[in-house]
Chain A
Amino acid sequence: MVDAHPTMIEVPERPEVQAAAPVRFFHRSRLRWNLPLAIGAAMVLLSLALALAAPWLTSHDPLEIADASLSPPSSEFLLGTDQLGRDVLTRILHAARSSLAVACLSAALAFVSGTLIGLVAGYSSGAIDACLMRLLDILQAFPALLLAIALVAALGPNLPNLVLTMGLLFMPRFARVARASTLSVRERDYITAAIGLGVSRARTMLRHVLPNIAAPLIVEASLTVTIAILTEASLSFLGLGVQPPDPTWGGMIAESTSVMALAPWLALSPGFAMVFVVIGFTLMGDGLRDALDPRG
């Protein structure tokens, strides 16, 4: 029975010509740069650089109180001073440190925990999936800011609690994106192939599912940072964020409300800083979406 059929066509020695290999310097880099990505990344990098270099950029201290309170922008105080006579530019630069740190850390926390939950839920399906998703539903049923206020008020307003609260708040976004992508990726034949080769569940998730759902999660991370910045500003505005006298953008705007007519630069300049960072991350997120799209 073995080889009952004669071979009808001769087997060529080396069938099929190999496609000519293009010269590629960055094998692993699939990022296709585009204008929004370049501009956004530049804005984000500039913000991060200014925040990191804040102590060396101005000759003032964020808590130093000068004689001149509410002085308009001048060569001594480039963006003027506030009611207590503190340099606004210095305070904005220092506020960027805590704002960006809180926003990035909470987004990172949400990214890691949300991805893990979404991955497990999407890959296991059934009861585990249903339980995890209902928990997220409960979390998302609360108005976001209200939940944040309640949690921060209960835990106490300091930086670690802020990061923890906001991380929890943003976690469902990542979990949902990760779960949805996992559901589509796990139907691919290469997952079946891995099972057929004897690859373990955990390894299949880490080696096959995770890399293939990474792109939308990275985009989500970039956009979540913008929401985190605004949420942190809202909490600080309400007095639940970074505590005075340490500067934050939300807090600076809150302090300026009583003198807004007299000294509009007090509200405008931290507002502008916030808009700059948010636009930067938004552009970067949009750009990444296009750059990472495998069909792009």
Chain B
Amino acid sequence: MPEPLLRAREIARHFPVRRGLLQRVTGQLRAVDRINLDIYPGETLGVVGESGCGKSTLGRMLAGLLPATSGDLSFDGRDMASQRGAALKRLRRDMQFIFQDPTSSLDPRMTVRDIVAEGLDAQGIATGRARDMLVADILDRVGMQQDALQRYPHEFSGGQRQRIGIARALVLRPKLVVADEPVSALDVSVQSQVLNLLVALKREFQLTYVFVAHNLAVVSYISDRIAVMYLGKIVEIGEAASLYRNPRHPYTRALLSAMPQPDPDSKSERIVLRGDVPSPIDPPSGCRFRTRCPVAQASCATSEPLLERKRGEAGQHLVACHFA
């Protein structure tokens, strides 16, 4: 294994819950709770889970947009939390983010040229003709025509706006790109085009991706490794093929069984989970999935399963379950 590009150790993000007249803190919402994660150069890590499981929060933390409440996060050997000023700015150049909503992520009052060039201006990379050439070049690479330069975001379709957002991120030539549900706001017909663009750009720029999504088909298509999240925790992580062929965690099995199969004759059994996701303000003791788990035992309530390698698994397939 090469050195990881991004290393997360016990990172957590808690949001205070305030109640009452005095807005006293009455609890902590644990959006992301003590996660360990290594992201290796050149890979695409898919992060999946239900809405509210903390995957977007994790994505923003990995991209340096949201500080961790606790834990250590280091990028390329540099500790992220301690970076300030010019060093932080330099760090941001290497890690970029692609947003879910292509409408809200582009300033409606700026031209495409200014939107895409903003990183170049802020980082002091290029001015004048060089700046224009870099902007024109990246627009071309994301499949936009040059007449887009002096137009405004509202003049474009959702897919085109997402391309502009991708151009804005990639013009800085980052090492890591965190994409938070980059295609879920798009029409299905456009989704595959944008996905293919992301795959092509990854090869072209030798990027490392963290790809957050709830759509398993999308994640399986683009990812080398997949992490499955439930209530702020990673419950299973492994190479995409291994995880799909042989899901170990009951939650992963339920998720995969919910995936529509293109073969009408396939008789895979659908595992339907009962109940709702418990509140992340007061998660269940022990294993967080036990309240909905089909194989839960009494011991699941007392001891929390660790993310570990199971018997008969090669490589990096880790599961957090006592009975997997």
Q: Chain A interface (Cβ within 8 Å of chain B)?
A: 1-5, 7-12, 14-16, 18-19, 21, 27, 188-190, 192-200, 203, 207-208, 211-212, 294
Contact = CB atoms under 8 A, between A and B. Distances in A.
5 contacts: A8-B221, A12-B196, A19-B156, A19-B157, A190-B106
Interface string B184-200: 00000010110111011
Contacts of A190: 104-107
List 8 tightest A-B contacts by C-beta distance, closest first. A189-B105, A198-B89, A2-B42, A197-B119, A211-B109, A15-B193, A199-B122, A198-B92
Nearest to B88: A198
A225 to B, nearest CB: 25
A195 B147 contact: no
Contacts of A12: 193, 196
Contacts of B156: 19
A193 B122 contact: no
Contact of B147 (A8, A21, A192): A21
Nearest to A204: B122
Interface string B88-112: 1110110111010100111111100
B143 A15 contact: yes
Interface in B158-198: 159-160, 163, 165, 168, 172, 190, 192-193, 195-197
B151 interface: yes
A15 B89 contact: no
B36 to A, nearest CB: 18
A196 B96 contact: yes
Interface in B110-132: 110, 118-119, 121-123
Nearest to B99: A189
B2 to A, nearest CB: 9
Interface string B277-298: 0000000000000000000000
A198 B122 contact: yes
Nearest to A21: B147
A138 to B, nearest CB: 22
Given A190-B106, A193-B99, A203-B122, A4 B239 contact: yes
B240 interface: yes
B43 interface: yes
A162 B40 CA distance: 67
Interface residues of B, number: 62
Interface of B: 40, 42-43, 63-65, 88-90, 92-93, 95-97, 99, 101, 104-110, 118-119, 121-123, 143-145, 147-148, 150-152, 155-157, 159-160, 163, 165, 168, 172, 190, 192-193, 195-197, 199-200, 203, 221-225, 239-241
Contact of B122 (A7, A9, A197, A211): A197
A1 B225 contact: yes
Given A1-B42, A5-B221, A294-B108, A11 B200 contact: yes
Most buried by B among A1, A14, A192, A211: A1
A190 B122 CA distance: 14
Nearest to B152: A27
Contacts of B197: 11, 15
A200 B92 CA distance: 12
B227 to A, nearest CB: 14
Contact of B160 (A3, A16, A195, A196): A16
B239 A16 contact: no
Contacts of A200: 122
B64 A196 contact: yes
Most buried by B among A189, A196, A212: A196
A197 B196 contact: no
Nearest to A294: B108
Nearest to B225: A1
B93 A198 contact: yes
Given A19-B156, A188-B104, A4 B122 contact: no
B110 to A, nearest CB: 8
Contacts of B40: 1
Given A3-B203, A14-B143, A196-B65, 7 more contacts: A1-B225, A11-B199, A16-B157, A19-B160, A21-B155, A198-B93, A198-B123
B118 A18 contact: no
Nearest to A18: B145
Nearest to A212: B109
Contacts of B107: 190, 194, 207-208, 211-212
A19 B163 CA distance: 14
Given A5-B224, A15-B193, A193 B147 contact: no
A16 B97 CA distance: 23
A207 B192 CA distance: 34
Nearest to A22: B155
A18 B241 contact: no
Contacts of A3: 203, 224
A7 B99 contact: no
Contacts of A212: 107-109
Contacts of A294: 108
Nearest to A192: B65
Contacts of A199: 118, 121-122
Nearest to A200: B122
